């Protein structure tokens, strides 16, 4: 099955493995088009988000990230004490960002001050 990648040239297409969509229908949702990412990630049922860099350049070679590497990282985040610590820290950082950027928060006040300064 081939899926177009939004924002890419028509000749670049992403192909899922045979049977992927059928397996996913039992446990997830495949979004083929634009989706409200911020709203989705903010939902309380979302426990994590994996952003994958398919090719990594290290000045020596082009290295493909393997499925087993992704599997190992996902399992570590989902089912380990280390993953619990990482998720707890991510929640704390998220709350700090919300506090700093809300009305009256330090970052919001600094940004407003900067905008006022440059628009004089």
* Locus of tokens 């070679």: 61
The whole model's pTM is what?
0.48
User: Is residue 14, in this structure, part of any structural domain at all?
Assistant: yes
- pLDDT tens, position by position, for the chain (120 residues)? 444 445 544 544 556 778 877 877 767 766 767 778 888 888 888 877 776 655 555 554 566 677 888 888 888 888 899 989 988 998 899 889 888 888 888 888 998 999 999 998
Question: What is the maximal distance between C-alpha atoms in the chain?
Answer: 60
In a domain, 27, yes or no: yes
Number of domains in the chain: 1
- 18 within some domain: yes
What range defines the domain where residue 26 resides? 1-35
Query: Within a 10 A sphere around the Cβ of 86, how many other Cβ atoms?
Result: 14
CA distance 84 to 87: 5
| Residue 93 within a domain | no
Tens digit of pLDDT for each residue in 52-74? 655 555 554 566 677 888 888 88
How long a stretch of residues is the chain?
Answer: 120
Q: Is there a domain that residue 26 lies in? A: yes
**Number of Cβ within a 10 Å radius of residue 107:** 13
Is 61 contained in some domain? no
Give the angle 76-99-36 at the CA atoms, nearest 5°: 60
Q: Is residue 107 part of a domain?
A: no
């Amino acid at each position: 099955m081939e899926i177009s990648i939004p924002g890419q040239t028509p000749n670049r297409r992403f192909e899922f493995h045979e049977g992927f969509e059928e397996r996913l229908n039992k446990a997830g949702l495949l979004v083929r088009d634009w989706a409200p990412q911020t709203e989705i990630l903010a939902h309380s049922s979302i426990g994590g988000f994996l952003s994958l860099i398919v090719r990594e350049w290290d000045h020596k070679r082009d290295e493909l990230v393997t499925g087993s590497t992704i599997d190992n990282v996902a399992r570590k985040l989902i089912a380990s004490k280390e993953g619990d610590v990482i998720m707890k820290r991510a929640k704390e950082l998220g709350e700090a960002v919300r506090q700093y950027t809300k009305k009256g928060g330090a970052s919001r006040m600094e940004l407003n001050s900067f905008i006022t300064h440059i628009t004089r």
